[in-house]
Amino acid sequence: MQVKNLVQFLHQWAPPAHAEGYDNVGLIIGDAAATVTGVLCTLDVTAEVIDEAIAAHCNVIVAHHPPIFLGLKQLTGANYTQRLVAKALLSNVHIIAVHTNLDNQLVNGVSSYLAQQLQLQHIQVLAPKAQTLAKLVFYCPSAFATQVAEAAFSAGAGTIGNYSECSFTIQGMGTFKPNQAANPQIGEREQTTQLQETSVAVLVQQHLAAAVIAAVKNVGFYEEVAYDYIPLLNTNQTVGSGIVGTLQEPLPLPQFLEKLQGCVQTKAIKYTQTHHSLISKIAICGGSGASFIAAAAAQQVQAYVTADLKYHDYFIPDGAFSLIDIGHYESEQFTSNLLAHVLQHKFPNFAVLKSKINTNPVQYFV
């Protein structure tokens, strides 16, 4: 298997279109045509992690955090990033990053994996990502309507929440007149044709629209396929930042913090008090989640668990819910487990390992 095949699978799981604009995802360092000998999964790429990959005969590292965020103008070893990139290149280690595109997945995403560790139920997206959905409407001879719908479904259209193969059809009369340059499958050149047609409407993730259109065109009912592409403002139920869910049973705040501390194995948790006597509904956002405090408030949670909060952020809830900072590494530490689990299931024929190195740069003096 080549590196590009691995990248292709990761992009199917966590589409780059779902990453934030500032991010850098995909193949960051290396050769897409290289053959994969083994994969090492990690949260961060460090020099020690590259050495670990080399020792384990893994020539690919799949990381959550990309080693390069901004463009490099030089490779002189002047800073940590330059030295890291040079080490990877000289060692022939290929690095793939799956960052905010993985953060924004409801199923098998970073926040949802942490929610699983806390055994949260009834999970949903905290802050849905805008402008990720579209409606495609295809116009075809009525005899082809079933084939058109099946082609659209096979390319990824027609999913709404927990339901698949969703579509809507309307019958009508279509007209068309091929010119002399046309090669019509139905009708004659320079003659107007009237035909009973069906419009088939499906919901699609915008990044899949081109593939769905191509699949429908391959059905071969018309030389020119008429369709409407309509971007939607509908809330995407499966793509966005953070998770909201409920505990299996409500807990007083001290007991919830104890459960949380045991789950993420941290020595210290920063939090605010709340006027709620019991914690039941929880919001979680792995990594830096201060920008979603308002979204957590709108969900009427009793606690919001995230990281990288600033001093003044803690005043915002004003007792309406407990704002909890468990640390950036602590909130995302399970990501290497998630990456390894999914890749091991998909590619059982070569080694997929989880890094044993704790890459947390933050130490605690207790």
pLDDT score of 83: 94
Residues 99 and 18: beta-carbon distance below 8 Å: no
Residues 41 and 353: beta-carbon distance below 8 Å: yes
Which residues contact residue 241 at a Cβ distance below 8 angstroms, ignoring those fewer than 6 apart?
A: 103, 104, 111, 125, 126, 127, 129, 285, 289, 292, 295
The beta strands (E) that lie in the chain are given as 26-29, 39-42, 60-63, 94-97, 121-128, 133-141, 168-176, 193-205, 226-231, 240-251, 270-271, 279-288, 303-307, 322-325, 352-354
Enclosing H/E stretch for 49: helix 47-55
pLDDT score of 251: 97
Q: Which residues of the chain have pLDDT under 50?
A: none
Which residues contact residue 257 at a Cβ distance below 8 angstroms, ignoring those fewer than 6 apart?
A: 269, 271, 324
Identity at 162, one-letter amino acid code: N
Cα within 13 Å of Cα(27), Cβ side: 17
Q: What are the pLDDT digits (tens) for 220-253? A: 999 999 999 999 998 888 999 999 999 999 999 9
pLDDT score of 162: 86
pLDDT score of 316: 98
Taking the chain, what is the end-to-end CA distance rounded to the nearest angstrom? 47
Residues 113 and 243: beta-carbon distance below 8 Å: no
pLDDT score of 130: 86
pLDDT score of 70: 83
Of 111, 13, 124, give the one whose Cα is nearest residue 335. 111
> 223-227 — which CB contacts under 8 Å span 24+ positions?
223/178, 223/182, 223/183, 223/184, 223/185, 224/182, 225/138, 225/139, 225/140, 226/138, 226/139, 227/136, 227/137, 227/138, 227/139
pLDDT score of 334: 94
To which residue do tokens 């800073």 refer?
79
| pTM of the predicted model as reported, rounded to 2 decimal places | 0.90
Strand order in the sheet with 193-205: 168-176, 193-205, 133-141, 226-231
Q: Which domains are delineated in the chain?
A: 3-99+334-354 (3.40.1390.30), 110-128+240-326 (3.40.1390.30), 133-231 (3.30.70.120)
